[in-house]
Amino acid sequence: MKKDKMKIDKIIVIILLTIGGILMLTPFIWMIFSSFKHANEAMLVPPTLFPKVPTLENYIKLFEELNFLVYLKNTLIVVAIFFIGLLFNAMAGYAFGKFKFPGKKFLFYMVLATMMIPSQVTMIPVYLILNKMGLINTMLGIVLPGLVGAFNIFLFKQFMGGVPNELMEAARIDGAGEYYIFFKLIIPISKPILAVQGILTFIAGWNNFLWPLIIANDEKFYTLSVGLSLLKGQNVTNFALQMAGASIMVVPIMIIFCIFQKHIMEGFVTSGIK
Amino acid sequence: MKNFISKLNKYKYPYLFIAPAIILLFMFSIIPIFVSVGISFTDMNIKGLANFNNIDFIGLENYIELLKDADFHQAIRNTIFYVVIGVPFVVFLSLTSALLINYGTEKIFSFFRVVYYAPAVTNIVAVAVVWGFLYNTNYGLLNNILNGLGLEGLRWLQDPILAKISLIILAVWKAIGINMLIFLAALKGIPKSYYEAAKIDGAKKFQTLRYITLPQLRFSTFFVTITTLIGWIQFFEEPMVMTSGGPLGQTNSMALFIYQNGFKQSQFGYAAAGSFVLFVIIIIVTLIQFRMNKQDAWE
């Protein structure tokens, strides 16, 4: 009797989750199926869910006629540079977590305080600063403002602060230099947190939109998200093409996310946001 | 001096390790705040950008102008609307989905975790493109479903009130995942022994939820509420990419107002003043939240 009741509970929960899940996934399903339709099939009333005659013409058009290959390349460059930022975050987190030095407390609070600043406040001055530095319309200008992040530094500090001091002391006694200790000892130990931050960095770099939009005036610096917003503006009625563009942005990140999602979850639990 | 140098040498490594991050944060977060306050007292525009001699100090004029600007008032009203409707929905729905997903340990539950988090990893432009199509009055899926049910289609993005709600729906859809994950992490952290003790005492499911789970989630609820609140006060990307603030400014938000004045009309001084007003509002709301939470803890 009790067991039956448990089962009914669970079935109700699963039904509720399924309804919610369908609502969460519908936009993606609609996007992917529509991206394989011919331009006029996407405009059918009532709409078809599955494409009647599936076609790759939208994808071919994006890469052959539009500049999506350039945008993709730029996006991957942004992601790659963001990984350098990840290294900076890790270094800062390590120093804050494992060293004593004058001004440490002040500097760390300052880092945390930057989390509270809305991007709209810094948007204009950052533009002016980059303008003064002559970095408008360059790849460096696109990535510099988002390169390091307080939250990432905080997570690294939390994790690396837990590494036993004896480990570093032993290495120092053996004559290892500080860089050697960081790269050969601390980095390998920090794999769990690096995995989480790596995937989050990838997502952030891939999805980065506002800065490339503001800073890049030249199409050769556009990232995928900027290119897609351009496509949306210029091909207002070609929904199939738009859906193909959106799929190019969304599907790779989904695949990467599915592979690594376990690490994200574990990272959230171990970093202690509860 | 010698003392200073030897001291610097002693702490060389930690300073070297934090230097890149600190320099970047200084340049792109800390200094910009002061610059922002500074230019909010000037008439800086595109001419000022070309040559700093064209910039004049105008005192509080930008702020006085903002007080009189009907568009800014509308943006504030819209932002309040977004916050009041959006925040409770995000908190409630992400908490509910976390509780449901935490219900079982079978594979299907971790599958749902992935599904619910999926919208959170997607790009806002792609989301805008897809939802723009879903919301399309003639060819969109939503209106066709309504028509199929014998109902009249809605003007999702054209009707003043409905347009705001349409933006909220997609923002909530996108925000559930990350907050659900925070709640899930917290749920996993509640000691099992609490539940075992409650079971022995004969507590009902609902009682366990009311007296154990929810109180244990207090900090994460606070965390989610405050980050969501701050996020929605800065509500920006959704109206920007979906409606550009239209129809007739009905979906415009404060943050979008700042962006448009700054980067579309190059009124840097005026936009900076607006951004500072936004910053002050965020600080006030955050302080109130912390105060309330403290009182809560004292009870």
The half-sphere exposure of B129 on its side-chain side, counting CA atoms within 13 A, is 37
pLDDT number for residue B298: 44
d(CA A45, nearest CA chain B) in Å = 6
Q: Please name which of B297, B132, B97, B268 lies closest in space to residue A42, comparing C-alpha atoms.
A: B132
**Overall number of domains in chain B:** 1
**What percent of chain A has a predicted confidence (pLDDT) above 70?**
95
Q: Please give the angle made by the CA atoms of A42, A45 and A49, to the nearest 5 degrees.
A: 55
Q: In this structure, is residue B94 part of a structural domain?
A: yes
Nearest-Cα residue of chain A relative to residue B121: A203
Decide: pTM greater than 0.90.
no
Q: Which residues of A54-79 are buried (b: 16+ CB within 10 A; e: fewer)?
A: ebeebbebbeeebbbebbbebbebbb
More confident call, A258 vs B84: B84
- Of the residues A13, A18, A84, A124, the best mutation for testing chain B's interface (the one with the most B CB atoms within 10 Å of its CB) is A124
Report the alpha-carbon distance of residue B123 to residue A204 in Å, rounded: 9
At residue A271 the predicted structure's pLDDT band, cuts being 50, 70 and 90, is: low
- Of the residues A34, A121, A130, A160, the best mutation for testing chain B's interface (the one with the most B CB atoms within 10 Å of its CB) is A121
Structure tokens that stand for B208 in this block:
């366990």
Using DSSP, state whether B4 is helix, strand or coil.
helix
Which residues of chain A neighbour B220 with C-beta distances below 8 Å? 273-274
pLDDT number for residue B1: 67
Tens digits of per-residue pLDDT, B21-34?
999 999 999 999 99
Q: Which helix (H) or strand (E) holds A137?
A: none
d(CA B20, nearest CA chain A) in Å = 6
Does the beta-carbon distance from A120 to B263 stay under 8 Å? no
Nearest-Cα residue of chain B relative to residue A23: B173
Average pLDDT over residues A84-108: 94
Q: Which one of B117, B136, B272 has the shortest CB-CB distance to A261?
A: B117
Question: Does residue A248 contact residue A66 with C-beta atoms inside 8 Å?
Answer: no
pLDDT value at A32 more than 90: yes
Prediction ipTM score? 0.87
At residue A191 the predicted structure's pLDDT band, cuts being 50, 70 and 90, is: confident
pLDDT number for residue A72: 94
Q: In this structure, is residue B59 part of a structural domain?
A: no
Structure tokens that stand for B197 in this block:
């003790």
Residue type, A101: F
Does the beta-carbon distance from B116 to A21 stay under 8 Å? yes
Window from A36-50, A243-257, B58-72, B74-88 with minimum mean pLDDT: A36-50
Q: Please name which of B134, B246, B22 lies closest in space to residue A91, comparing C-alpha atoms.
A: B22
Q: Which CATH architecture fits A56-270? A: Orthogonal Bundle (1.10)
Average pLDDT over residues A35-39: 89
Report the alpha-carbon distance of residue A199 to residue A105 in Å, rounded: 29
The contacts found for B277-284 with CB under 8 angstroms, 24 or more apart, are: B277/B63, B277/B66, B278/A118, B278/A120, B278/A121, B278/B233, B278/B234, B278/B254, B279/A117, B279/A118, B279/A121, B279/B33, B281/B233, B281/B254, B282/A116, B282/A118, B282/B230, B282/B233, B282/B234, B283/A116
pLDDT number for residue B299: 43
**What percent of chain A has a predicted confidence (pLDDT) above 90?**
50
Q: Please give the angle made by the CA atoms of A135, A140 and A143, to the nearest 5 degrees.
A: 120
On average, the pLDDT of chain A sits at 88
d(CA A56, nearest CA chain B) in Å = 18
Domain holding B248: CATH number?
1.10.3720.10
At residue A40 the predicted structure's pLDDT band, cuts being 50, 70 and 90, is: confident
Report the alpha-carbon distance of residue A43 to residue A226 in Å, rounded: 25
Nearest-Cα residue of chain B relative to residue A152: B21
Which residues of chain B neighbour A34 with C-beta distances below 8 Å? 133
Structure tokens that stand for A219 in this block:
């199409």
Domain that holds residue B78: 69-298
Residue type, B67: L
Does the beta-carbon distance from B22 to A92 stay under 8 Å? yes
pLDDT in tens for each of the 299 residues of chain B?
A: 677 788 778 888 999 999 999 999 999 999 999 999 999 999 888 787 777 777 888 889 999 999 999 999 999 999 999 999 999 999 999 999 999 999 888 889 989 999 999 999 899 999 999 999 899 888 888 988 898 888 888 889 989 899 999 999 999 999 999 899 889 988 888 888 888 888 888 888 888 888 889 988 888 899 899 989 999 999 998 999 888 888 888 999 999 999 999 988 889 999 999 999 999 999 999 889 888 877 665 44
Q: In this structure, is residue B33 part of a structural domain?
A: no
Q: Which one of B36, B109, B116 has the shortest CB-CB distance to A24?
A: B116
pLDDT number for residue A4: 58
Average pLDDT over residues A154-160: 89
Window from A118-132, A182-196, A254-268 with minimum mean pLDDT: A254-268
Report the alpha-carbon distance of residue B279 to residue B263 in Å, rounded: 18
Does the beta-carbon distance from A128 to B35 stay under 8 Å? yes
pLDDT value at A33 more than 70: yes
pLDDT number for residue A232: 85
More confident call, B90 vs A45: B90
Question: Does residue A124 contact residue B268 with C-beta atoms inside 8 Å?
Answer: yes
